[in-house]
Amino acid sequence: MKENLPIVVYILATALATFSVRVLPYYAKFLNKLPPFVGRCMRLLPIAALGPLVFPGVILDFSPQWYAGLAGIGASFLIAYTKGGMIFPILTSILVTYIALVL
């Protein structure tokens, strides 16, 4: 960590960020009147987050065996897309990455 703060400070900071947006609408009425465009942006944020949460990290983390992570997430994508769920795709992805790393 660049800042050398205790982990608990980061945890409480994220808790504050989460709690503040959760509690605000229970007390502030203006949120019922936000422009539709702003509303659409906010509802799209979690989907927009998925891209940068995976790339380029999944390639950089396994460098020089950059293909290992890609093989892993490729497997989890196929299973999650066809069968749904989360724990089975994740376990398969760990197995595929493991095989790619030791080969």
Site for other proteins in 18-47 (CB under 8 A): 18-26, 31-32, 36-37, 39-47
Q: How far apart are the first and last CA of the chain?
A: 32
Residue type at 87?
I
Q: Could you tell me where the beta strands, DSSP code E, fall in 42-86?
A: none
What is the distance between the alpha carbons of residues 99 and 68, in angstroms, rounded to a whole number? 8
Build a one-symbol-per-residue string for 44-63: x at contacts with other proteins by CB under 8 A, - elsewhere.
xxxxxxxxxxxxxxx--xx-
The residue within the footprint of other proteins, chosen from 63, 67, 102, 103 (CB under 8 A), is 102
The mark string for 78-97 relative to other proteins (x by CB under 8 A, - otherwise) is: -xxx--xxxx-xx--xxx-x
